[in-house]
Amino acid sequence: MEDAGCSRKCVIIASLALVVTCTWLAAAQFTPSVRWFVTEDVSDGWDAGFAACVSGDYVYVVGYSSAEGGKEFRVEMRDRASGDLVRAWILNPSEGRDMLGDCLVAGGRLYVVGTDERPGNPEWVILVFDLDLNLLANVTSNPTDEMDQALSVTSDGEYLYIAGSASTRWRIEKRRLEDLSLVEVRTLEPGEHPTYIRSIAINPATSELWGVGMTIAESRASWYIVILDRDLERVRMVAPGIEGAASSVAFDEEGYAYVVGEGAVAKFDEQGEVIKVDRRYNGTKALYWGGHLYAASATAPVITGEGRRILPRLRLLVFDKNLSQVEEIALGEERGYFPVGKMGFDGESLYIAGLYEASEGNAGWIIFSVAIAPPRAACPWRIEDMKIASTRVTFGEPLEIEVSLSRSGLLLTVTAFNRELGEEFVLFNSTAESKVVKVAGRGLPAGNYTITAYPGGRPECGFKPLEVE
């Protein structure tokens, strides 16, 4: 499980910092700050949160806690505003290391991927919950008698794309969102030695999948990236010659890819050509928003005077599009790691899950909410879980939104009471839980966006909200 970044043996886990800028708006510089954080020492052993996903008033966090003989699944539902625990769901399917690595909210359901050891060896597991954390489905697949683990999930709104390992190979499954039925499987063998895929995401500019991870040659780990079409046909393999492991990828509105991992952060063009590599930084979770890359990062373990390895401090790094660092935010005083697994984002705040060292040999969950954009004024309308299924959306009365697509994002023209109010621009990002519909012959990521419609098209909220006339 070392590649999951969750065990004490794991080499380095860098976290992904999310940077948000509203470049298309009159950009006011906003310094990210920790809004709240919670620590929770679930058991006397090693417990780790992996991924956070947001929907409505809640943040859902998935991971594991220690249980009799091994690990057990743990999913938490927390209040988005305060971090307070609302509900926890646990399941211990085997006496082995059962763990959950990533999550996704789509179509009003929470999808979670991970690994259990029910067959006596590790297998993939996919769980589906309603948003009150009631389990709706539990599907497994066990491609080999050896260690198989699912680590990452993304979706285009119609299919899930799940990435992980099957013994020493990379494995990607394409499943229908609706019923989890298996549509396609691809296994890749990047090297002769054990290799790991760590995460998968869709580049909205090309609609292609990027799987990032590592391969090992001559006892040295190095970054490895595969670009696939959505039939899982291989488009390109990229070995950029960076020591360590790539952990997470995010895309900007032009289709450039920002990859964070052990050993570096790097920028690629949409073909996978290296634009820039900076080996001074590392990260495990990446999110791009509004002109900035946010990377949750735990810097390298520190060696004390007595030669003891201690866990690093938790950090959020912010970069501009040239990969120049613009902020470094200390996330508390605890030492720990950010495993792979998404950061949640609600348009204002990031939600970042990881682990902290509670005492020698004992780790607990740690969850941060980090504001990266100013609080929205009371006047904008906030529209959550809006499904865009056509070019025109009516959201109750009297709001109507016309949707159009440009290369860099989704343009929403907002109309209320038959008056055009302005335009809002929705940047694509790799965590958009989206559904693809065709608009003017192009694939349009649409689906569960959180969209804020500003009267007048400006976030400064210079207009009072329209009231029913």
Burial tier of 278 (Cβ tally within 10 Å: 0-12, 13-18, 19+): middle
Distance of CA 422 to the CA centre of its chain: 31
Q: Is 10 helix (H, G, I), strand (E, B) or coil?
A: coil
> CA torsion 26→27→29→34, rounded to 10°?
110
Cβ nearer to Ca ion, comparing 142 with 429: 142
Which pair of tokens denotes residue 366? 């740690």
Query: Least distance to Ca ion from the beta carbon of 133, Å?
Result: 22
Candidate segments 116-124, 254-262, 321-329, 334-342, binder of Ca ion by CB under 5 A: 116-124
Residue 215 burial (CB count, 10 A): 23
Query: Least distance to Ca ion from the beta carbon of 82, Å?
Result: 23
Q: How far apart are CA 205 and CA 1, in angstroms?
A: 33
Query: Least distance to Ca ion from the beta carbon of 455, Å?
Result: 49
Cβ nearer to Ca ion, comparing 38 with 295: 38
DSSP count for the chain of H helices, then E strands: 0, 39
Is residue 148 near Ca ion by the rule CB under 5 A?
A: yes
Is residue 262 near Ca ion by the rule CB under 5 A?
A: no
Which residues from 220-239 bind Ca ion, rule CB under 5 A? Answer: none
Is residue 346 near Ca ion by the rule CB under 5 A?
A: no
Cβ nearer to Ca ion, comparing 127 with 388: 127
Cβ nearer to Ca ion, comparing 123 with 158: 123
Per-residue binding string, Ca ion, 19-58, x by CB under 5 A, is ----------------------x-x---x-----------
Cβ nearer to Ca ion, comparing 142 with 430: 142
Query: Least distance to Ca ion from the beta carbon of 142, Å?
Result: 5
Candidate segments 23-31, 122-130, 149-157, 448-456, binder of Ca ion by CB under 5 A: 122-130
Cβ nearer to Ca ion, comparing 101 with 455: 101
Is residue 364 near Ca ion by the rule CB under 5 A?
A: yes
- 127 contacts 115 by C-beta, under 8 angstroms: no
Candidate segments 11-19, 27-35, 119-127, 275-283, binder of Ca ion by CB under 5 A: 119-127
Query: Least distance to Ca ion from the beta carbon of 357, Å?
Result: 9
Is residue 94 near Ca ion by the rule CB under 5 A?
A: no
Q: How far apart are CA 1 and CA 8, in angstroms?
A: 10
Query: Least distance to Ca ion from the beta carbon of 362, Å?
Result: 5
Cβ nearer to Ca ion, comparing 255 with 364: 364
Could you say which of 362, 391, 408, 413 contacts Ca ion (CB under 5 A)? Answer: 362
What's 298-314 look like in SS3?
ECCCEECCCCCEECCEE
Query: Least distance to Ca ion from the beta carbon of 125, Å?
Result: 11
Which pair of tokens denotes residue 192? 């002769």
Query: Least distance to Ca ion from the beta carbon of 84, Å?
Result: 20
- 299 contacts 311 by C-beta, under 8 angstroms: no
- 167 contacts 181 by C-beta, under 8 angstroms: no
Query: Least distance to Ca ion from the beta carbon of 294, Å?
Result: 28
Candidate segments 123-131, 185-193, 217-225, 401-409, binder of Ca ion by CB under 5 A: 123-131
Is residue 121 near Ca ion by the rule CB under 5 A?
A: yes
Beta strand ranges found along 269-408 (DSSP E): 274-278, 285-289, 292-298, 302-303, 309-310, 313-319, 325-337, 344-345, 349-359, 362-371, 381-386, 392-395, 399-406
Candidate segments 87-95, 121-129, 302-310, 408-416, binder of Ca ion by CB under 5 A: 121-129
Is residue 400 near Ca ion by the rule CB under 5 A?
A: no
Cβ nearer to Ca ion, comparing 47 with 327: 47
Is residue 142 near Ca ion by the rule CB under 5 A?
A: yes
Element holding 257 (H helix, E strand): strand 257-261
Cβ nearer to Ca ion, comparing 179 with 360: 360
Q: Which amino acid is at 249?
A: V
Cβ nearer to Ca ion, comparing 20 with 100: 100
Q: How far apart are CA 172 and CA 232, in angstroms?
A: 8
Is residue 357 near Ca ion by the rule CB under 5 A?
A: no
- 385 contacts 55 by C-beta, under 8 angstroms: yes
- 246 contacts 238 by C-beta, under 8 angstroms: no
Which pair of tokens denotes residue 143? 């491609």
Q: Cβ neighbours of residue 114 under 8 Å, at least 6 residues apart?
A: 62, 64, 73, 98, 99, 100, 101, 102, 124, 125, 127, 149, 150
Query: Least distance to Ca ion from the beta carbon of 232, Å?
Result: 21
Cβ nearer to Ca ion, comparing 142 with 215: 142
The CB-side HSE value for 35 (13 A sphere, CA atoms) comes to 19
Cβ nearer to Ca ion, comparing 159 with 365: 365
Q: Where along the sequence are the contacts to Ca ion (CB under 5 A)?
A: 41, 43, 47, 121, 123, 142, 144, 148, 362, 364
